[in-house]
Amino acid sequence: VLVPTTVSMVGKHLGARKEHPGLKNKENDENSGPTTTVFVGNISEKASDMLIRQLLAKCGLVLSWKRVQGASGKLQ
């Protein structure tokens, strides 16, 4: 059974959009656009958390990284 890993990332929105001056946009709080959750499977136990974080950082700003452990404590 494959259990996905959860990663939250923020990327820049490239499309133009009209801003309303009186409204505060929650996306602008991070200054980088909307948050995207990414699920990654089949990560080797031998891959360190730091290695995975560095690889994900090449795709965008990583807000959080969580590796799932099974009931036996084995990394998944």
Q: 8 falls in which pLDDT band (50, 70, 90)?
A: low
49 inside domain? yes
Does residue 18 belong to any structural domain of this protein? no
Residue 17 lies in a domain: no
| Whether pLDDT at 51 is above 50 | yes
Q: Are residues 3 and 40 in contact, defined by beta-carbon separation less than 8 angstroms?
A: no
Closest CA to 65 of 11, 10, 7: 7
Parent domain of 63: 1-12+26-76
How would residue 29 be classed by pLDDT, with cut points 50, 70 and 90?
Answer: low
Q: What is the pLDDT of residue 27?
A: 43
**44 part of a folded domain:** yes
- What pLDDT is attached to residue 10? 52
**The pLDDT value given to residue 45:** 87
The C-alpha angle with vertex 31 and arms to 52 and 7, in degrees rounded to 5, equals 25
Count the residues in the chain: 76
Is residue 7 one of the residues assigned to a domain? yes
Burial of 7 (0-12, 13-18, 19+ CB in 10 A): buried
50 assigned to some structural domain: yes
Q: Is there a domain that residue 36 lies in? A: yes
Higher pLDDT, 2 or 46: 46
Q: Closest Cα to residue 6, out of 38, 41, 53?
A: 38
Give the count of domains, the chain. 1
